[in-house]
């Protein structure tokens, strides 16, 4: 695996099946209204090049506003959105994707995900509507979220088009080793959501201790732990000052011993 430590400006990316996904993105769940637009705009000004939204977050309009307000060119930013399972029937899906694009005021997204597997519809049907959205030029890449090992295997078998990622909860407090291994075997990128355990990592003693040795916060150590394993992280913050903290994770490395001790947290 390539090194993900860089002193140069710019955020490294992970490559998966033709997609280049910036290793750091901004999560936007629960960011609404002016706060959302402002945080997205500031994040892009600070160098973030990846924004994660979803039709369910009810903030795509503000994400689009933030993008335009930042002055950063559209083709320099990687935008992900997700479709909720109640919209997986073919006509509904097509309409939902067009509505996402209208709210974002974009002609396509970089990555379109199935937000959760459907408990009602057969996977074959859902995958084919997702593939159609890509063929129709509405998404440059497609993928899934919250899929289990068996589900990513089946989805990959059913899709004639590469599924570039699985987005799921991943942080030092949850053991996702089996799912991570399966994604790697299938060549899918891992996109880690709730990467800082909804803010809880800040108070962790081990992460704080390791951070003190590197002059970094526990949150930065946590994010570094994930990106050093080539996982994409999408931490959310509503506070502009935390955007820089969460992005300063590419100028230091954790030792093998530190990585192993953090990995042991999930088993504790
Ligand atoms: N696919 C899915 O089903 C799914 C599910 C959940 C999440 N996601 C995506 O993943 C993103 C991230 O996950 P998440 O929002 O659940 O949680 P998260 O990013 O792990 O944590 C967000 C929380 O951490 C706090 N925080 C941020 N930076 C901090 C820092 N430097 N120090 C201390 N606290 C900090 C934030 O508070 P402040 O706002 O006060 O900074 C917020 O309360 C979401 O926003 C969404 O885009 C996807």
User: Residue 57 half-sphere exposure, CB side, CA atoms within 13 Å?
Assistant: 25
What pLDDT score does 9 carry?
Answer: 59
What pLDDT score does 251 carry?
Answer: 97
Average pLDDT of span 170-191: 98
Where residue 267 falls among pLDDT bands split at 50, 70, 90? confident
Report in angstroms the alpha-carbon separations of 248 from 50, 113, 172, 243.
Answer: 15, 27, 19, 9
Q: What is the mean pLDDT of the chain?
A: 96
Ligand 1, residue 197: give the atom nearest the CA.
20
24, 31, 57, 114: the active-site residue? 57
pLDDT at 2 exceeding the cut of 90: no
Got the DSSP string for 200-249? GGGG-HHHHHHHHHHT--HHHHHHHHHHTTT-EE--B-S-HHHHHHHH--
Tens of pLDDT, residues 53-77: 999 999 999 999 999 999 999 999 9
What pLDDT score does 6 carry?
Answer: 56
Nearest C-alpha neighbor of 31 from the set 52, 1, 10, 2: 52
Average pLDDT of span 223-249: 98
Q: Examine the residue annotation and report whether 57 is marked as an active-site residue of this protein.
A: yes
DSSP character for 171? S
In the structure encoding, which two tokens stand for residue 181, read together?
């291994």
pLDDT at 89 exceeding the cut of 60: yes
- State the DSSP H helix or E strand holding residue 140, giving kind and residue range, or none if neither: strand 139-145
In the structure encoding, which two tokens stand for residue 170, read together?
């991943």
Cβ of 194 closer than 6 Å to ligand 1, yes or no, is: yes
Cβ of 166 closer than 6 Å to ligand 1, yes or no, is: no
- State the DSSP H helix or E strand holding residue 83, giving kind and residue range, or none if neither: strand 78-83
Tens of pLDDT, residues 102-155: 999 999 999 999 999 999 999 999 999 999 999 999 999 999 999 999 999 999
Tens of pLDDT, residues 6-29: 545 589 999 999 999 999 999 999
Cβ of 232 closer than 6 Å to ligand 1, yes or no, is: no
Atom 5 (ligand 1): residue with closest C-alpha?
Answer: 193
């Amino acid at each position: 695996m390539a090194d993900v430590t860089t002193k140069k400006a710019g955020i490294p990316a992970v490559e998966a099946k033709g997609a280049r996904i910036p290793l750091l993105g901004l999560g936007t769940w629960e960011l609404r209204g002016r706060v959302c637009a402002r945080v997205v705009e500031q994040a892009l000004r600070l160098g973030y090049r990846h924004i994660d939204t979803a039709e369910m977050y009810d903030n795509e309009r503000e994400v689009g506003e933030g993008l335009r307000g930042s002055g950063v060119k559209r083709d320099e930013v990687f935008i992900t959105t997700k479709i909720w399972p109640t919209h997986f029937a073919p006509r509904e899906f097509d309409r939902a994707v067009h509505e996402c694009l209208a709210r974002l005021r974009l002609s396509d997204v970089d990555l379109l995900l199935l937000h959760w597997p459907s408990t009602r519809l057969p996977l074959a049907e859902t995958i084919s509507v997702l593939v159609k959205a890509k063929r129709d030029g509405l998404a440059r890449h497609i993928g899934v979220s919250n899929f289990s090992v068996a589900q990513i295997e089946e989805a990959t078998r059913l899709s004639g088009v590469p599924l570039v990622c699985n987005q799921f909860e991943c942080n030092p407090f949850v053991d996702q080793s089996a799912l991570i291994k399966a994604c790697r075997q299938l060549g899918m990128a891992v996109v880690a959501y709730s990467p800082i355990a909804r803010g809880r990592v800040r108070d962790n003693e081990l992460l704080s201790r390791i951070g003190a040795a590197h002059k970094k916060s526990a949150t930065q150590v946590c994010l570094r732990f994930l990106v050093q394993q080539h996982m994409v992280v999408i931490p959310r913050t509503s506070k502009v000052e935390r955007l820089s903290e969460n992005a300063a994770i590419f100028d230091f490395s954790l030792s093998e011993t530190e990585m192993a001790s953090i990995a042991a947290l999930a088993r504790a």
